[in-house]
Amino acid sequence: AQSVTQLDSHVSVSEGTPVLLRCNYSSSYSPSLFWYVQHPNKGLQLLLKYTSAATLVKGINGFEAEFKKSETSFHLTKPSAHMSDAAEYFCVVSDRPSGSARQLTFGSGTQLTVLP
Based on the shown chain and the rule CB under 8 A, indicate whether residue 22 belongs to the binding site for another protein.
no
Exposed e or buried b for every residue in 13-33, given b needs 16+ CB within 10 A? beeeeebebbbbbebeeebbb
- CA distance linking residue 23 with residue 97, whole number of Å: 21
Query: Which residue in 5, 8, 44, 72 binds another protein (CB under 8 A)?
Result: 44
Q: For the CB of residue 44, give the shortest distance to another protein in the complex, in Å.
A: 4
Based on the shown chain and the rule CB under 8 A, indicate whether residue 31 belongs to the binding site for another protein.
no
Query: Which residue in 56, 108, 113, 115 binds another protein (CB under 8 A)?
Result: 108
Number of helices (H) and strands (E), helices first, in the chain?
A: 0, 12
5 neighbors 23 (Cβ within 8 angstroms): yes
Q: What angle do CA 61, 54, 89 make, to 5 degrees?
A: 35
Based on the shown chain and the rule CB under 8 A, indicate whether residue 104 belongs to the binding site for another protein.
yes
CB of 22 or CB of 49, closer to another protein: 49
Return the range that interacts with another protein (CB under 8 A); candidates 18-26, 40-48, 64-72, 78-86.
40-48
SS3 readout for 8-19: CCEEEEECCCCE
Query: Which residue in 1, 40, 99, 116 binds another protein (CB under 8 A)?
Result: 99
Binding residues vs another protein (CB under 8 A): 34, 36, 42-46, 49, 51, 90, 98-99, 101-104, 106-109
